[in-house]
């Protein structure tokens, strides 16, 4: 066990208060394979093992490294809440726990949460306060059966194809925060490029007569704008921060300018009762015909599929430097953004995407809804919890300027029936919920395969054809409003609503299978040891020729607003990354960069 606090940085950089305490590090831990721990009194006693939080027990960095199915796990930590927080309430935050979590503090249940990708909190008022001892007990359940948003976690014992080692329990930072009884809640900050301003909605825990909310906008030269409104009339006061013309600076991929935002809750006597720091980028997204415009300009989206796995931490980055390195590796290869694939990435990653001008599509780890039936039946059974957790993700990440689109589902596949199915209902619910939660960004109902929402803002396909000429033929129909659409298992039965002229891109392609050192790769496509799309290239030069040929097809289409290449790194047995799983080079990245960064026809 390490004695240093792992992942010590503040986990929520868009809403920071000074009084917080990182609870990462050593916790007591115990497996509960039969999920009988509550009956056996596990919640009331010391646990048998030790684990390093925030790393999942399947990972090496956790100190456990158990990759079997873990039906339930328990955590326990005893700590002293800082006495200097006197006069405040204490919030206990979990950034992510997979899958169903129940939390007790000092023997009192304080919160339950379903969903493995999104944060949740408990107010410890009446249970534990400043100066008190707090005994935190967490039970996380993670069944292998039934519909569940799992992302890329394998439901067989072994990793195979493009499915990987599971993640159970706590896998992001746990922390405490001191807040006054009446306090600010996380704001919504909406950029308004047309009017050169930011619109702020600042929810409050309660309203007090005579109180006010104040917002200040600043850049490197000092204050840019300020606004103040009464805080006793609306549960979520609204403010406008108007930016003078000579201080307006857009957030772009080449100049990712961020303004500092300071929020203050002022009491009736003029004292600052609560304050938090945030930031914002002035950036717009619009649709014009088949074009997606960023700040009114065509920016070809050279995206890479990023699955956010590491050999030693699994879904948890071993360090903040590892998060930054993945963005820098992507930029070095000529990409300007990513699909954050089958996972809701941690907030620190999005902060660095904001800071580095890196375009991302916010996605959900929805795989796990397919219950194994055939495509023509009701094989897809996403549950209401998919909608609930996805809304939590959109709410969490609304303020990030780097996010330029939302995609709640990926590769759902089911033939269109003469009746409305559960997949239809949940897909539409996720689409409409996203549009209601955020009308400022385009929404892609499902990436690839089954488009169930006729009016989806964006349409796409996945095409892993490895022959550039065949790929060109397949992708050539966009000008005639007949783009490539993923087929179902039967050619006479459609799986998608028809294309209706939306902006279109190939959101997965390539996946070129290449690992020169792998004997399994040389011998054949073994889905347990070495796996990729299509026939393996003969040698490295063949890789560059195929990569360039495939990329050229999409760069040369004036109506194609972008693409997403599979993928940034190898992940376990899936050996089709630009980089190896350990992030070392396996290709001449300068050649990859050169092939991608010539001017796209779309930009002309």
The residue with tokens 């090496």 is 60
Q: Is 413 exposed, middle or buried (0-12, 13-18, 19+ CB in 10 A)?
A: buried
Q: What is the pTM of this model?
A: 0.96
Residue 418: pLDDT band (50, 70, 90) is confident
The DSSP output letter for 324 is H
In 3D space, the residue among 360, 308, 299, 329 whose CA is nearest the CA of residue 151 turns out to be 308
Could you give the strand order of the β-sheet that contains 133-141, starting from the edge strand earlier in sequence?
49-53, 25-31, 72-80, 133-141, 100-105, 108-114
Short-list 334, 335, 328, CA closest to 593: 334
Residues 6+ apart with CB under 8 A from 153: 163, 164, 165, 166, 167, 368
Q: Which residues contact 510 (CB under 8 A, 6 or more apart)?
A: 464, 533, 547, 550, 551, 565, 566, 576
Q: How many CB atoms lie under 10 A from the CB of residue 217?
A: 23
Instruction: Give the residue from 40, 22, 15, 18 showing the smallest Cα distance to 30.
Output: 40
pLDDT in tens, 282-333: 999 999 999 999 999 999 999 999 999 999 999 999 999 999 999 999 999 9
pLDDT tens sequence across 423-466: 999 999 999 999 999 999 999 999 999 999 999 999 999 999 99
- By three-state DSSP, how is residue 513 classified? coil
CB 361 within 8 A of CB 326: no
Q: So what's the pLDDT on residue 1?
A: 45
**pLDDT (tens digit per residue) in 353-385:** 999 999 999 999 998 888 776 677 788 899 999
Helix (H) or strand (E) holding 553: helix 540-555
pLDDT at residue 54, as a whole number: 98
Q: What digits encode the pLDDT tens for the residues 170-181?
A: 999 999 999 999
Are 261 and 280 contacting, i.e. CB atoms less than 8 angstroms apart?
A: yes
Sign of CA dihedral 425, 431, 435, 438: positive
| CA dist list (Å): 585 to 2, 249, 512, 538, 569 | 29, 36, 15, 19, 10
Tokens of 2: 């390490």
Task: Look at residue 535 in the predicted model and tell me its pLDDT.
Answer: 87
Q: Maximum CA pair distance of the chain?
A: 76
By percentage, how much of the chain surpasses pLDDT 90? Answer: 88
């Amino acid at each position: 066990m390490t004695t240093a606090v792992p992942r010590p940085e503040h986990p929520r950089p868009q809403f920071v208060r000074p009084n917080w305490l990182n609870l990462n590090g050593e916790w007591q831990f115990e497996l509960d394979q039969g999920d009988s721990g509550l009956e056996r009194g596990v919640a009331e006693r010391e646990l048998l093992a030790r684990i390093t939080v925030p790393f999942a027990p399947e990972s090496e960095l956790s100190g456990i490294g158990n990759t079997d199915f873990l039906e339930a796990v328990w955590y326990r930590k005893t700590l002293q809440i800082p006495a200097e927080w006197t006069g405040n309430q204490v919030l206990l935050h979990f950034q992510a726990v997979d899958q169903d979590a129940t939390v007790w503090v000092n023997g009192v249940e304080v919160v339950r949460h379903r969903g493995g990708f999104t944060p949740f909190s408990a107010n410890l008022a009446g249970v534990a306060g400043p100066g008190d001892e707090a005994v935190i007990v967490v039970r996380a359940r993670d069944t292998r059966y039934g519909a569940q948003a799992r992302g890329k976690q394998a439901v067989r014992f072994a990793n195979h194809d493009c499915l990987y080692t599971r993640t159970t329990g706590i896998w992001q930072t746990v922390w405490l925060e001191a807040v006054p009884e009446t306090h600010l809640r996380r704001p919504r900050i909406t950029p308004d490029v047309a009017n050169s301003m930011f619109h702020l909605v600042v929810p409050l825990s309660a309203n007090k007569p005579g109180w006010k909310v104040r917002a200040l906008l600043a850049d490197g030269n000092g204050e840019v704008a300020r606004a103040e409104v009464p805080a006793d009339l609306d549960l979520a006061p609204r403010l406008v921060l108007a930016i003078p013309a000579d201080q307006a600076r857009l957030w772009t991929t080449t100049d990712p300018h961020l303004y500092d935002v300071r929020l203050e809750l002022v009491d009736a006597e003029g004292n600052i009762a609560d304050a938090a720091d945030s930031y914002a980028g002035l950036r717009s997204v619009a649709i014009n015909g088949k074009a997606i415009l960023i700040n009114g300009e065509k920016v070809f989206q050279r995206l890479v599929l990023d699955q956010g796995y590491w050999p030693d931490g699994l879904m948890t980055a071993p360090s903040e430097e590892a998060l930054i390195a993945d963005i820098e590796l992507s930029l070095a290869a000529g990409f300007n953004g990513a699909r954050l694939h089958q996972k809701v990435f941690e907030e620190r990653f999005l902060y660095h995407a904001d800071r580095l001008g890196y375009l991302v599509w916010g996605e959900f780890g929805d795989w796990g809804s397919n219950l194994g039936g055939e495509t023509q039946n009701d094989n897809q059974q996403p549950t209401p919890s998919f909608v609930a957790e996805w809304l939590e993700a959109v709410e969490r990440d609304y303020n990030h300027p780097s996010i330029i689109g939302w995609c709640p589902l990926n590769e759902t596949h089911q033939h269109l029936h003469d009746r409305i199915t559960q997949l239809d209902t949940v897909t539409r619910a996720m689409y409409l919920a996203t549009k209601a939660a955020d009308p400022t960004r385009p929404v892609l109902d499902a990436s690839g395969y089954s488009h169930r929402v006729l009016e989806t803002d964006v349409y796409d396909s996945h095409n892993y054809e490895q022959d550039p000429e065949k790929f060109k033929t397949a992708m050539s129909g966009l000008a005639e409003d007949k783009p490539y659409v993923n087929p179902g298992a039967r050619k006479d039965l459609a799986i998608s609503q028809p294309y209706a002229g939306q902006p279109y891109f190939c959101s997965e392609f390539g996946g070129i299978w290449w690992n020169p050192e792998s004997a399994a790769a040389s011998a054949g496509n073994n889905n347990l040891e070495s796996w990729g799309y299509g026939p393996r290239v003969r040698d490295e030069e063949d890789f560059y020729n195929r990569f360039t040929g495939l990329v050229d097809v999409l760069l040369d289409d004036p109506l194609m607003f972008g693409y997403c290449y599979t993928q940034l790194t190898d992940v376990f047995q899936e050996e089709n990354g630009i980089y190896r799983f350990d992030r070392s080079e396996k290709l001449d990245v300068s050649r990859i960069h050169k092939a991608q960064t010539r001017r796209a026809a779309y930009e002309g």
